[in-house]
Chain A
Amino acid sequence: EIVLTQSPGTLSLSPGERATLSCRASQSVSSSYLAWYQQKPGQAPRLLIYGASSRATGIPDRFSGSGSGTDFTLTISRLEPEDFAVYYCQQYGSSTGTFGQGTKVEIK
């Protein structure tokens, strides 16, 4: 089973700043089947990125994903107030789906 490790655990930034979140896999993620989700308090997760770099429907272009193999990155180019949330990476494409432990992006 692939283990996903996200870093940092918490990112303290101000609106307008750039956020860079990391997701490292214990083994290579096949076909870049790596997704990112955003979750706000009291809400269900929302799909942001799939295939490591493709934005889901309706996701603003300030969100971008990159990476391959075992190292993946989610970048938020300029933080908006509504972007402060917890972000999870996930590997998919098999019978199971494994999530990372999450990165909280909080207001500094």
Chain B
Amino acid sequence: EVQLVESGGGLVKPGGSLRLSCAASGFTFSSYSMNWVRQAPGKGLEWVSSISSSSSYIYYADSVKGRFTISRDNAKNSLYLQMNSLRAEDTAVYYCARDAQYPRLFDYWGQGTLVTVSS
């Protein structure tokens, strides 16, 4: 069974940093591109970042470019999101999601981790 479990969310002050993790199991993690997708409270879904299976290709939404860094460790079956210079508008539930057979088609999602940016 495919499982994606996010962790690392919490309350952080504006300008602060946070590192999210996503632990994957039930599939060959090193064969899939992975993503972070977020959802602000009461709002819709926003794709944040993607990383290819071997980390060769990395993409970011304009809203986070230069502040967030996606990475992965295939030996540990883990995906990460380093978030720096956090703003109030980064407050959201952050989901880890797996690419299906096409780029940015998400077939499995984690349960999400809440990041709150507030003073």
A96 contacts B47, CB within 8 Å?
A: yes
Q: Max chain A CB contacts within 10 Å: which of B44, B50, B104?
A: B104
The residues of A that contact B110 with a CB separation of less than 8 Å are: 44
A-B contact count (CB 8 A): 65
B44 contacts A97, CB within 8 Å?
A: no
Chain A 13-42 interface residues, beta-carbon cutoff 8 Å to B: 33, 35, 37, 39
A93 contacts B104, CB within 8 Å?
A: yes
A100 within 8 A of B: yes
A56 within 8 A of B: yes
For the complex, give the distance between the alpha carbons of A44 and B59 in Å.
22
Give the size range of B's interface with the partner.
Answer: 20 to 34
B44 contacts A50, CB within 8 Å?
A: no
Question: Closest residue to A93 on the B side, CB-wise?
Answer: B102
B105 contacts A92, CB within 8 Å?
A: yes
B107 within 8 A of A: yes
Chain B 102-119 interface residues, beta-carbon cutoff 8 Å to A: 102-107, 109-112
For the complex, give the distance between the alpha carbons of A63 and B110 in Å.
23
A85 within 8 A of B: no
Interface residues of A (CB under 8 A from B): 33, 35, 37, 39, 43-47, 50, 56, 88, 90, 92-102
Interface residues of B (CB under 8 A from A): 35, 37, 44-47, 50, 57, 59, 61, 95, 100, 102-107, 109-112
